[in-house]
């Protein structure tokens, strides 16, 4: 088996995808990479790590050839809120990085996984049960790079036969690495604050409904899609996937069932609220279910129980 390369491997998703892939395929088959350096303990394993800037084509080529890479999980990107602060840099990293990864994949016949996002939709997209194939006119730089990325991946498959695959992730909730500056980060922050202080000030309005997913389901989606029978894939790139939908009010009420006295108040950040308002309320992920058997394991109540248990252990607070 050829090796797997992960770009942006130290981020929220990569820091959980890397150990899952290493457990499945073996430590030395999975090469983690990022533009940050961390200690071996923080890396959480013995597998290879490379300093790799995804905007540098020669360096990607060098790593792909040295390790005989057959599959790239391309996770390096700037997330929605950060991309709105630095749109020019976001274009360079999100589009420049993806283009270079796809070119190296074309030359070396690698398969490529690329995560798109609910950010690839915009205010003119049908907001409820958003279909797989629908209007995509996002109003953020993040969204522009995600739609363009979906199209570029389709193009590399159709034109050059590169085995590109991807999903549109919703907000991802996890307890290992902190989120990287997205609009749905509140759904992670709220758990830390609930365990530490029993209260949380939310930067989105209480009734803002968004799709979300627990990290074990996100990792499962990536691996299952890359292992799926190619003959069954009609869409290939950018499958809608979701685990659950909730608002800050609903999430807070669920947390309060396990953290007595937990309270939430609101100090709305207009930038992130505008981004959230331009995204769907709920996705229809039937294409992923039909074409590669997607089915999430966690609903809201199961996720809340598991998050609190893990964070109490991590932060050293006894179970309430
Ligand atoms: N986390 C979510 O809720 C979510 C939702 C939808 C889509 N996604 C997508 O999933 C992917 C990974 O997201 P994440 O949450 O892990 O992001 P993150 O911000 O936590 O991590 C991104 C990583 O990329 C690295 N990076 C930045 N610039 C780089 C460069 N030039 N070269 C190499 N590495 C670079 C960063 O150091 C960081 O470790 C992104 O494409 C993101 O758009 C994430």
- Best residue among 7, 8, 20 to mutate for probing ligand 1's pocket (most ligand atoms within 8 Å of CB) is 8
142 is catalytic: yes
Catalytic residue among 142, 186, 214, 298: 142
Whole-model pTM: value is: 0.96
- Average pLDDT over the chain, rounded to an integer: 95
Over the stretch 182-201, which tens digit does the pLDDT of each residue have? 899 999 999 999 999 999 99
| Residue 177 alpha carbon, nearest atom of ligand 1 | 20
Using left for φ > 0, alpha for ψ between -120 and 50, and beta otherwise, residue 236 falls in: left
Angle between helix 248-256 and helix 186-197 axes, rounded to 10 deg: 30
Over the stretch 153-167, which tens digit does the pLDDT of each residue have? 999 999 999 999 999
Q: Which residues of 74-102 are buried (b: 16+ CB within 10 A; e: fewer)?
A: bbbbbbbbbbbeebeebbebbbbbbbbbb
Interatomic CA distance for residues 216 and 254, integer angstroms: 20
Instruction: Indicate if ligand 1 lies below 6 Å from the C-beta of 93.
Output: yes
Instruction: Indicate if ligand 1 lies below 6 Å from the C-beta of 101.
Output: no
- 238: CA distance to ligand 1 center in Å? 16
Give the per-residue pLDDT at 319. Answer: 44
Task: Name the residue with the closest Cα to ligand 1, atom 33.
Answer: 53
Instruction: Indicate if ligand 1 lies below 6 Å from the C-beta of 34.
Output: yes
Instruction: Indicate if ligand 1 lies below 6 Å from the C-beta of 13.
Output: yes
Over the stretch 12-64, which tens digit does the pLDDT of each residue have? 999 999 999 999 999 999 999 999 987 777 776 689 999 999 999 999 999 99
228: number of Cβ within 10 Å: 17
Local confidence band at 129 (pLDDT 50, 70, 90 cut-offs): very high
């Amino acid at each position: 088996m050829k090796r797997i390369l992960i770009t942006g491997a130290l981020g929220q998703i990569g820091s959980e995808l890397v150990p899952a892939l290493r457990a499945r395929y073996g430590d030395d088959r999975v090469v983690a990479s990022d533009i940050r350096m961390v200690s071996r303990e923080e890396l959480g394993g013995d597998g290879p790590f490379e300093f790799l800037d995804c905007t540098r084509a020669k360096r990607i080529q060098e790593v792909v050839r040295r390790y005989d890479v057959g599959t790239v999980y391309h996770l390096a990107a700037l997330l929605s809120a950060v991309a709105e602060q630095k749109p020019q840099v976001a274009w360079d990293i999100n589009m420049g990085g993806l283009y270079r990864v796809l070119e190296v994949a074309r030359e070396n016949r690698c398969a490529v996984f690329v995560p798109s996002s609910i950010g690839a939709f915009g205010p003119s997209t049908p907001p409820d049960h958003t279909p797989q194939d629908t209007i995509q006119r996002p109003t953020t730089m993040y969204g522009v790079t995600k739609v363009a990325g979906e199209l570029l991946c389709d193009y590399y498959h159709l034109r050059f036969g590169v085995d590109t695959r991807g999903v549109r992730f919703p907000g991802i909730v996890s307890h290992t690495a902190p989120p990287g500056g997205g609009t749905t980060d509140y759904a992670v922050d709220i758990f830390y604050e609930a365990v530490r202080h029993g209260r949380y000030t939310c930067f989105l309005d209480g009734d803002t409904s968004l799709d979300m997913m627990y990290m074990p389901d996100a990792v499962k989606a990536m691996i299952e899609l890359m292992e799926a029978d190619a003959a069954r894939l009609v869409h290939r790139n950018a499958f809608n996937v979701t685990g659950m939908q909730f608002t800050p009010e609903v999430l807070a009420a669920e947390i309060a069932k396990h953290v007595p006295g937990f309270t939430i108040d609101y100090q709305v950040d207009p930038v992130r609220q505008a981004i959230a308002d331009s995204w769907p309320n709920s996705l229809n992920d039937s294409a992923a279910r039909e074409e590669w058997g997607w089915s999430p394991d966690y609903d809201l109540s199961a996720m809340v129980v598991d998050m609190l248990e893990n964070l109490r252990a991590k932060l050293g607070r006894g179970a309430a």
